[in-house]
Chains A and B, each alone.
Chain A
Amino acid sequence: MIKTGSQNKIAQFFIKNNTYIIFLILFLACSIASDKFFSVLNLRNILLQQCAPILVSIGMLMVVLTGGIDLSVGSVMAVGSSLTAVLIVSYGLSWPLASAVSIIVGAIMGTITGLLVAYLNFQGFVASLAMMTIARGIAYTITNATPINLSKATLHVLSSGQYSYPIIWITLLLIIVFTVICNFTSYGRIVIATGSNSEAVRLSGIREKRYILSVYIISAILASCAGIFLAARSGVGNSTVAEGQELDAIAACVIGGASLAGGSGSVPRTVIGAFILALIGNIMNLLSIPAYPQKIIKGIIIVFAVMMQVFTDKRKEK
């Protein structure tokens, strides 16, 4: 039949771009549901808000591509946020130096998780679960679990409109960098291949463990940056932030079509996945839905988004 040919093409288009289509539909729905949604202020707010979750989601995606999972990102964010604030306020470091130190500390935590997973054969879930507790403990300890206020002159420049919102541009740059890494470098190719079948990669003469280690480091570095962004935006270094952020990051990856078994996933789609989650939260706020029912609705929408992914994936296989 001739007709099925063109029908197939349309279907193929929808299947190929399902994440983007879900996002567009949601975006339109939000614009219709609330007249406050489609305003410069609100959209800019969403962008500023999403910088941190997007970075964490990209880091999570790198780990998920290898077939692992990193539950420690939320806690590592908290370390990034509170350590930077402590270094600025109590030790008088300049904000770039304090940020750099926080990122290095994050990298060390990622290295430990990565070493456990790659060389001591811990499951990613277990190793990062331990690191999640440790990092949260570190954040509490260094701040005594009290928020640390930063003066306007320091970290705030990162998210200030005066300098045209640097965190948005940094995030955009990192999205591009990681998209390129995943698609056009041998590093990205090997990371994805490792998630597909690490033993086959090893037998192809590649030291796959180094790549596994590296993704945990990347994930922790991006989480530290995200923590610094949070502190920059709120002006407070806080040890209790980003609890449960790891789950949102995993959800963003999955909504973006990544397989938790490893070997497939894409950076732009994961970013869209993070935005889908953000839109859901944003529109419910605008519609003044109370916080607790919001969680229920969010969970249900995640299920539907992933169901659509699974459904279209099956179609793709046929």
Chain B
Amino acid sequence: MKEKEYQLEMHHISKQFNGVFVLQDISIQIKPGEVHALVGENGAGKSTLIKILSGAYTKDAGEIYIDGQKVNITSPLDAKKLGIAVIYQEFMLAPDLSVAENIFIDKLAGNKRFINWKKLQNDAKKQLEDLGFTDIPVMAKVRDLSVAHQQVVEICKCLTRDAKILVFDEPTAVLTLTETQKLFNVIRLLKEKGVSIIFISHHLEEIFELCDRVTVLKDGNYMGTCSVCDISKKDLIQKMIGRELTQMFPKRNATIGDVVLKVENLSVGKNIKDINFEVRSGEILGFSGLVGSGRTEVMRAIFGADKMKTGKVTFLGKNVKFTDPKCANAYGLGYLSENRKSLGLLINQSIRVNTTMASLCRVTKRGFLEKKKEKSYIVSLLETVKTKYGCIEDNVSSLSGGNQQKVALAKWISADCKCLILDEPTRGVDVGAKIEIYNIINKLAEQGVAIIMVSSEMTEIIGMCDRVLVMHQGRITGELQKENLSEENIIKLALKEVALV
């Protein structure tokens, strides 16, 4: 038998989706009591690897060892029994049950007798105190807790299952700076107890602060593992991106013209306030910030997909009120939504249906579709955005992520927008398709379209945008001009706590 040097070993893991490798020969080893960072760009395969570990996906090839013993994980239940727990960004909590009930939910479910509330409360209190939290009321509904506290409850829940391997999937994306520090203390505590931790984060500072070793993935390939002491931040980025930054982003010759869209005093819901900005034709305006900072909500409100509370929108010099997406589209504002599968595309319909969805009037005569004209139009449009496809009657689900995104883009290009909002335009897209998408965006800007690009990928924001607004907790915390764009400056603004008035 192997000596127990590693708590968890994953060897030569491979996974394909529709014949495309999303993971290829990945190996990773985690020591007991180690905090192991897993980094890579979006779409590098981090989540897929974690889903294989947690039993949500099954691997096509490879082996997993726990404590030196080969294990076979085929379902989430298997993973749970083996002491593997994942803290996702979306917590797996029952929001209307109390903190205590949530922490011990497994045990409650198995208990056929009555609940001993007193014992339950005491045990829950003890669990929380072990992690240094005495201020969480154990009988409060989980719904009423802050996100940070909900996360603590989730961690406690996993610990009651005797989790030996805890995976944190971008845990700090939803936390403030002080909350992040508290979480780090908890993680350090767990580490002392000998729990192995896999920590996924886009924030490299956090990795250097907290983690022992780091494994880099890129496009589903293993790029190496090393101790954080032995690598500089620059080298790590180099490894993640796999090339010099400048190559990724093609040059653009757009002339910046008049203001197309101007937003004043926009507020949405409870949290998003005081949003003011304008974007000019030919300009690419970036929106950066952490996940949950309110960027998507702002865009959806401008587009009319959600209601805005207050705010004045001026489009091409006219004061407008977009009450629904149809109005916005009619004026020439398009919105490429962040999740193409659930919001952007009709995933089980044909490429034909999808491409002309936002511009049906272009191919309709007195209510009847001109199918021949539509076909030649779609073929030429998809050629200009370099989409690879079999036949326009094929379902979009048969395309790769990159090509799906190009179809989604084509849909809005065909709508002849004066201003186009692109929400995470390259999410889940491989690097090659990314560059092609950047080219398309540049071409649109050159044609005088005003572009708003929301992206969580710093490199993309820095490489593409003329100007970047950074949001934090529902407010714009700063504006950066092209010459001041750097990852450091963006992060500073993205984590800045705004003094509340």
| Residues of A in contact with B (beta carbons under 8 Å apart) | 184-187, 189-190, 192-193, 196-197, 199-207, 263-264
Q: Note all chain B residues with C-beta closer than 8 A to A197.
A: 342-343, 345-347
Q: List 25 A-B contacts (CB under 8 A).
A: A184-B368, A185-B368, A185-B369, A186-B364, A186-B367, A189-B353, A189-B360, A189-B369, A193-B346, A193-B357, A196-B348, A197-B343, A197-B345, A199-B343, A200-B342, A200-B344, A203-B303, A203-B335, A204-B325, A204-B357, A204-B411, A205-B329, A206-B326, A206-B357, A207-B326
B481 at the interface (CB under 8 A from A): no
B92 at the interface (CB under 8 A from A): no
Judge whether A190 and B348 touch: CB under 8 Å: no
Judge whether B337 and A263 touch: CB under 8 Å: no
Which one of A184, A185, A187, A200 contacts B346 once the chains associate, using CB atoms below 8 Å? Answer: A200
Interface residues of B in 83-99 (CB under 8 A from A): none
Q: Note all chain B residues with C-beta closer than 8 A to A199.
A: 342-343
CA distance A107 to B329 in the complex (A): 31
CA distance A162 to B109 in the complex (A): 72
| Residues of B in contact with A (beta carbons under 8 Å apart) | 303, 305, 324-326, 328-330, 334-335, 337, 342-349, 353, 357-358, 360-361, 364, 367-369, 371, 411, 415
Most chain B CB atoms below 10 A, which of A184, A185, A190, A205 = A205
Q: Note all chain B residues with C-beta closer than 8 A to A192.
A: 349, 353
Q: Note all chain B residues with C-beta closer than 8 A to A201.
A: 346, 357
Which one of A185, A193, A205, A207 contacts B349 once the chains associate, using CB atoms below 8 Å? Answer: A193
Judge whether A186 and B360 touch: CB under 8 Å: yes
CA distance A192 to B334 in the complex (A): 22
Q: Note all chain A residues with C-beta closer than 8 A to B360.
A: 186, 189-190, 206
Judge whether A203 and B325 touch: CB under 8 Å: yes
Q: Known: A184-B371, A193-B349, A196-B349. Contact between A205 and B344, CB under 8 A? A: no
Q: Note all chain A residues with C-beta closer than 8 A to B349.
A: 192-193, 196, 263
Of all chain B residues, the one with the shortest Cβ separation from A193 is B346
Which one of A187, A203, A207 contacts B305 once the chains associate, using CB atoms below 8 Å? Answer: A203
Q: Note all chain A residues with C-beta closer than 8 A to B369.
A: 184-186, 189
CA distance A69 to B344 in the complex (A): 25
Which one of A187, A196, A205, A207 contacts B358 once the chains associate, using CB atoms below 8 Å? Answer: A205
CA distance A190 to B328 in the complex (A): 18
CA distance A205 to B356 in the complex (A): 11
A258 CB to closest chain B CB (Å) equals 13
Judge whether A202 and B346 touch: CB under 8 Å: no
CA distance A264 to B415 in the complex (A): 25
Q: Note all chain B residues with C-beta closer than 8 A to A200.
A: 337, 342-346, 357
| The 9 residue pairs across chains A and B that have the minimum distance between CB atoms | A205-B329, A196-B346, A204-B358, A204-B357, A186-B364, A186-B360, A205-B325, A205-B326, A197-B346
Q: Note all chain A residues with C-beta closer than 8 A to B353.
A: 189, 192-193
CA distance A206 to B325 in the complex (A): 7
Judge whether A263 and B305 touch: CB under 8 Å: no
Of all chain B residues, the one with the shortest Cβ separation from A261 is B348
CA distance A192 to B411 in the complex (A): 17
Q: Note all chain A residues with C-beta closer than 8 A to B343.
A: 197, 199-200, 203
CA distance A184 to B346 in the complex (A): 19
CA distance A263 to B329 in the complex (A): 24
A183 CB to closest chain B CB (Å) equals 8
Judge whether B348 and A263 touch: CB under 8 Å: yes
CA distance A283 to B31 in the complex (A): 72
Of all chain B residues, the one with the shortest Cβ separation from A197 is B346
CA distance A190 to B349 in the complex (A): 11
CA distance A185 to B360 in the complex (A): 10
CA distance A184 to B347 in the complex (A): 21
CA distance A199 to B360 in the complex (A): 17
Besides A192-B353, A197-B345, 16 new A-B residue pairs in contact (Cβ under 8 A), listed by A number:
A185-B369, A186-B364, A186-B368, A193-B357, A196-B348, A196-B349, A197-B346, A199-B342, A200-B337, A203-B325, A204-B411, A205-B325, A205-B329, A205-B330, A206-B326, A206-B357
